[in-house]
Chain A
Amino acid sequence: MLTLGEELLILSIEDGKGALTPFTSETLRYGLAGAILADLALQEKVILEKSRLALVDPTSTADPILDEAIAALAKENKPRKVIHWINSMGSKKLSRKIFKNLSEKGVLRSEEHRYAWVIPYEADSLLNASAKYWLKTRLRKVVLAGEEPELRMVLLLSLLRACRLLNLVFTRDERSEAGRQVGELVKGETIGEAVAYVIKKIETAASSADG
């Protein structure tokens, strides 16, 4: 089982290159931070109280990165805002840590400073396909073929949208229609909104510093 952060990172890897697709680098880390929070919420470790996150179950998960986040949350005396956590967890190192987890899980293999897909990904699968292929196929089914989405997939779409990375899943000719569909599906999803807010803030700050 992969975490949402792992899935988001998988989608950001460029086939053949074995590294992140260049245009993902600006926003990805905030999306990964959002993915950690979303996973904690899915596992009922945290609850959202208005725009603040309260830790309700500090017991360990099966994932070291989620556990680190739980430890950080546990240090606070009172619940802090989602955007605070996205800012503080969204470090550059985050993707490297997740890469490492993915190799340990046998999704990626590291080869001389690059990553290659382990193929086939799904043990029971008849297809020789990577984890990324499976993931994209599921997302494309939900958005383009009207398949009923699981909550996890909605969260992942929400994070992709917040990071403006939907073009990792949809081709140019599909993009605006798919964008509209996703907008409907994720309406009101708090974590994605917080990620989008943080990214916007940072961009505004950067552009006013430039000017």
Chain B
Amino acid sequence: MLSLYEEFFLISIDDDKGTVSLSASTVIAYGLAGAILAELALKGKLCLEDERLKVLDGTPTGDEIMDEVLSSISQSDKPHKPIRWIRMMSGNKLPKRVANGLAAKNIIHIEQKRYLWVIPYLAYPMQDASAKYWVKQHMREMVLGGVAPESREVALLSLIDACRLLNLVFTKDERKAASKKVEDLIKNEPFGDAVAKTLEEIEMAATITIMSP
């Protein structure tokens, strides 16, 4: 099972270049940080109090990166808003760390700084497809195929949308209608406060990053 931040990372890889897509490069660290917080909140580890994140359940998740974040939040002197955590987490090293984790799980290969797919992805061994193909296929099923949405996947769509990366999942002819549908899915998803606030703040942070020269 991949975590949300891993799925977000897979979507942002350019198959041809084996690097992070150009359009994703400025926002990837924010997207990853947002995915980590969103997933912790979805798992009931975090809650929102006075617009600030608080640890609700500090037991480890088993994921190294998420557990580090969880312990920093629980050891923090005072609670912070999600955006503050996002900024603290989203250093240059985060994407590389996520990539190394995926390589250790044998989802991608790293060869001379290029990310290459390990095919087939073991979760679905019947077909010769990369993990990215499956992540995208799930997004496409929900948005275009009318498959019932899962909170987790809607959170991922929301992050992808906030980072303006829907064009890595949908083709031009689908984009406008897909983006409307994504908005509807997000609006109708009964996210808890902590998830909703994190998603909202990632949207703002990403917008500022994209708009600034």
A interface list, Cβ under 8 A from B: 11-17, 21, 23, 119-120, 127-130, 133, 136-137, 140-141, 144-147, 167-178
Beta-carbon contact of A12 and B173 below 8 Å: yes
Q: Which residues of A contact B171 (CB under 8 A)?
A: 136, 167-171
- Give the residue among A17, A136, A172, A175 with the most B Cβ atoms within 10 A: A172
Q: Which of B119, B133, B147, B176 contacts A15 (CB 8 A)?
A: B176
Q: CA–CA, A15 to B147, complex, Å?
A: 18
Q: CA–CA, A203 to B119, complex, Å?
A: 40
Q: Which residues of B contact A140 (CB under 8 A)?
A: 133, 137
Beta-carbon contact of A127 and B147 below 8 Å: yes
Q: CA–CA, A188 to B136, complex, Å?
A: 31
Beta-carbon contact of A171 and B167 below 8 Å: yes
Least CB distance from B12 to A in Å reads 8
Beyond known contacts A168-B171, A173-B13, A177-B16: 15 more, CB 8 A cutoff: A11-B173, A12-B173, A14-B173, A14-B176, A16-B177, A127-B146, A129-B144, A129-B145, A144-B129, A144-B130, A144-B133, A168-B173, A171-B168, A172-B168, A173-B21
Q: Which of A16, A23, A120, A177 contacts B176 (CB 8 A)?
A: A16
Residue B28 is within 8 A (CB to CB) of chain A in the complex = no
Q: Which residues of B contact A145 (CB under 8 A)?
A: 127-129, 133
Beta-carbon contact of A175 and B16 below 8 Å: yes
Q: CA–CA, A140 to B127, complex, Å?
A: 12
Beta-carbon contact of B127 and A146 below 8 Å: yes
Q: Which residues of A contact B168 (CB under 8 A)?
A: 171-173
State which size class the interface on B falls in: 20 to 34
Q: Which residues of A contact B147 (CB under 8 A)?
A: 127
What residue of chain B has the Cβ atom nearest to residue A12's Cβ?
B173
List 17 interface pairs A-B (beta carbons < 8 Å), by A numbering.
Answer: A14-B173, A15-B176, A15-B178, A16-B177, A17-B176, A127-B145, A133-B140, A137-B145, A141-B127, A141-B129, A144-B133, A145-B129, A146-B119, A146-B127, A168-B172, A171-B168, A176-B15
Q: CA–CA, A167 to B170, complex, Å?
A: 10
B interface list, Cβ under 8 A from A: 13-16, 21, 119-120, 127-130, 133, 136-137, 140-141, 144-147, 167-174, 176-178, 180
Q: CA–CA, A130 to B146, complex, Å?
A: 9
Q: Which residues of A contact B146 (CB under 8 A)?
A: 119-120, 127-129
Beta-carbon contact of B173 and A133 below 8 Å: no
Q: CA–CA, A128 to B145, complex, Å?
A: 6
Q: CA–CA, A38 to B13, complex, Å?
A: 36
What residue of chain B has the Cβ atom nearest to residue A23's Cβ?
B172
Beta-carbon contact of A21 and B172 below 8 Å: yes
Q: CA–CA, A11 to B173, complex, Å?
A: 9
Beta-carbon contact of A173 and B177 below 8 Å: no
Beta-carbon contact of A133 and B177 below 8 Å: no
Q: Which residues of B contact A16 (CB under 8 A)?
A: 176-177, 180
Beta-carbon contact of B177 and A15 below 8 Å: yes
Q: CA–CA, A115 to B21, complex, Å?
A: 34
Q: Which residues of A contact B127 (CB under 8 A)?
A: 141, 145-147
**Which 6 pairs, one residue from A and one from B, show the smallest C-beta to C-beta distance?**
A128-B146, A146-B128, A16-B177, A145-B129, A15-B177, A129-B145
- Give the residue among A16, A136, A141, A170 with the most B Cβ atoms within 10 A: A16
Q: Which residues of A contact B169 (CB under 8 A)?
A: 171
- Give the residue among A145, A168, A175 with the most B Cβ atoms within 10 A: A145
Q: Which residues of B contact A127 (CB under 8 A)?
A: 141, 145-147
